[in-house]
Amino acid sequence: MDGGGQGVARRHGAVAEEDPDRRHGDRSGKEGDDDGVDVDEKAPPPRRTSRRVASLDVFRGLTVALMILVDGAGGEWPVIGHAPWNGCNLADFVMPFFLFIVGMAIPLSLKVLRSLVFHLSILMFLGLNLLPEANMQRIPDRGRAVRRVVLRTLKLLFWGILLQGGYSHAPDDLSYGVDMKHVRWCGILQRIALAYLVVAVLEIVTKNAKVQDQSSSGFSIFRMYFSQWIVACCILVIYLSLVYGIYVPDWDFRVSDVKNPNFGKILTVTCGTRGKLSPPCNAVGYIDRKVLGINHMYHRPAWRRHKDCTDDSPHEGPFKTDSPAWCYAPFEPEGLLSSLSAVLSTIIGVHYGHVLVHMKSHTDRLKQWSIMGITLLILGLTLHFSHAIPLNKQLYTFSYICVTAGAAGIVFCMFYFLVDILNLHYPFAPLKWTGMNAMLVYVMAAAGIFEGFLNGWYYEGTNNTLVYWVRKHVFVKVWHSTRVGILLYVLFAQILFWALVAGLLHPCGRDGMWQ
């Protein structure tokens, strides 16, 4: 996965997202047939023909590309940027898609066909390598599996704090370093790390080796992993109880933005309520202020573009003269309570991975996936438009979980049909390359590290950098439009460029990001 984890990835990345039914081919000798069966333990396999689930790589690549797109062009195209509060724009699908992919990859990366160390050791002692090399690399016991999960989690946390904690000022500010009094502890990778840790450990603890390789159909997979859904229900109940049950008192903060005319002033926000999902008085923000501290929260939340704050909404513009105090306050979109509910997106992804592991037929898989995706989508939209629970990425509401997870399931079904069934690999090759080198592309493009390096080379002034020149003269001036020019710059100079770079690293790029 991890930017510093390429070595780990090379040890197990090749099987981390492997379709279990493609591992050895079927008994008739046809390789890569999803409808094949697992090899009998008493008969050696014909030869190793393991392949990654290409559609999952493509889906991951699409999600990384979307992140680059909304970060780079969202300012000029607010319809693709984050919704200021309630609602769901294109950018609001990125995080749930990542979490869904993480969950779906977990059953594949942790699938243990022969889980007992005793069996492995006896076979190795006798010199009988009856198991394929891929299986020999799998985790032989739960202790080692948990250690691997914890190590990968720590790597994600490290990169998250480094890239989003405030230390890196790329790509525009040619400086670095962060005042620990204001370091941001939460972020995208930190949320992914938490969800991965919880769900991966849950998968390891609840896995039943006796049914691991049994073919399943219909709702039997739900029954097989019933304990995981019990945990999911408990998480949902805890989240809803806290969101609607915690009393949110009045609170105040000191304006820390030096460009703000209210800099240094202490502003008070009036609440004194419970069960509200409004920007200033929700329990999600209250818990983050109490636990994290307001200095350690995100200082440019999407609500700055709210209609109550600016006349330019949904664009970001100058605040109204009578804008409420909370418009100037920080808010953590990847906070503690919202990250708890975000775990549910990963658990839903795990179910999709279970379907891939246990079901042998393409038709059965697609049927199971599509039914669940459509059901979630309808449930979430019903909750939103009935005004029961609004779609809200900042709070990670239940309706938002349903809509985004349902959309993720439907999008994956499309990719699975096109890539893994119809074998249309070439049209999606750039996305596949990006997905197989996702951490590299995320760090260099989405986090702006490469552009930050290029901005270090400037002419006469730091506002005349190579990136600025290319964006202005090659894209904006040619199209005589800042909006169109920036959009094309992001599409070609960032997304396509890094897809081609990832293609040069293919097939070595097996970082298995966020599995």
* Amino acid occupying residue 380: G
Per-residue pLDDT at 20: 56
Round to whole Å and give the CA distance between 84 and 392: 9
Residue 48 has pLDDT above 70, yes or no: no
Structural tokens at position 44: 């050696």
pLDDT band at 132 (very low <50, low <70, confident <90, very high): very low
Residue 75 has pLDDT above 90, yes or no: no
pLDDT band at 18 (very low <50, low <70, confident <90, very high): low
Provide mean pLDDT across the span 241-264: 87
Mean pLDDT over each residue of the chain, to the nearest integer: 81
Per-residue pLDDT at 131: 35
Per-residue pLDDT at 34: 37
Provide mean pLDDT across the span 160-167: 87
pLDDT band at 349 (very low <50, low <70, confident <90, very high): very high
Provide mean pLDDT across the span 185-194: 93
* Amino acid occupying residue 504: L
pLDDT above 70 coverage of the chain, percent: 80
Per-residue pLDDT at 120: 36
User: Quick one: how far is CA 14 from the chain centroid?
Assistant: 20
Per-residue pLDDT at 301: 92
- Does residue 408 contact residue 100 with C-beta atoms inside 8 Å? yes
Which range in 106-115, 153-162, 405-414 is most confidently predicted, on average pLDDT?
Answer: 405-414
Provide mean pLDDT across the span 276-282: 95
Residue 216 has pLDDT above 70, yes or no: no
Pairing of strands 266-269, 251-254: antiparallel
pLDDT band at 395 (very low <50, low <70, confident <90, very high): very high
pLDDT digits (tens, 9 = 90+) for 286-317: 999 999 999 999 998 999 999 999 988 888 88
C-alpha angle 207/213/215, rounded to 5°?
115
Provide mean pLDDT across the span 188-193: 94
pLDDT band at 17 (very low <50, low <70, confident <90, very high): low
Strand, helix or coil at 267? Answer: strand
Per-residue pLDDT at 218: 62
Per-residue pLDDT at 38: 37
Residue 453 has pLDDT above 90, yes or no: no
Domain ranges of the chain: 54-118+140-447
User: Quick one: how far is CA 276 from the chain centroid?
Assistant: 27
pLDDT band at 332 (very low <50, low <70, confident <90, very high): very high
Round to whole Å and give the CA distance between 64 and 349: 17
- Does residue 246 contact residue 286 with C-beta atoms inside 8 Å? yes
Provide mean pLDDT across the span 265-290: 94
Give the dihedral of Cα atoms 220, 224, 227, 233; nearest 10 deg. Answer: -20
DSSP 127-192: T---S-HHHHTS--SHHHHHHHHHHHHHHHHHHHHHHHSSSB-TTT-S-B---TTS-----HHHHH
Per-residue pLDDT at 41: 38
SS3 sequence, 447-508? CCHHHHHHCCCECCCCCCEHHHHHHHHHHHHHHCCHHHHHHHHHHHHHHHHHHHHHHHHCCC
- Among the residue ranges 125-139, 259-273, 301-315, 434-448, the one predicted with the least confidence is 125-139
On the CB side of 61, CA atoms within 13 Å amount to: 26
- Among the residue ranges 121-130, 421-430, 482-491, the one predicted with the least confidence is 121-130
pLDDT band at 69 (very low <50, low <70, confident <90, very high): very high
- Does residue 210 contact residue 116 with C-beta atoms inside 8 Å? no
Contacts for 10 with CB less than 8 Å, ≥ 6 apart: 508, 510
Strand partners, 273: 248
Burial label for 322, CB within 10 Å (0-12, 13-18, 19+), is exposed
Strand, helix or coil at 248? Answer: strand
pLDDT digits (tens, 9 = 90+) for 470-480: 888 888 888 88
Per-residue pLDDT at 140: 52
**Sole residue written with tokens 């513009």:** 317
- Among the residue ranges 55-59, 146-150, 365-369, the one predicted with the least confidence is 146-150
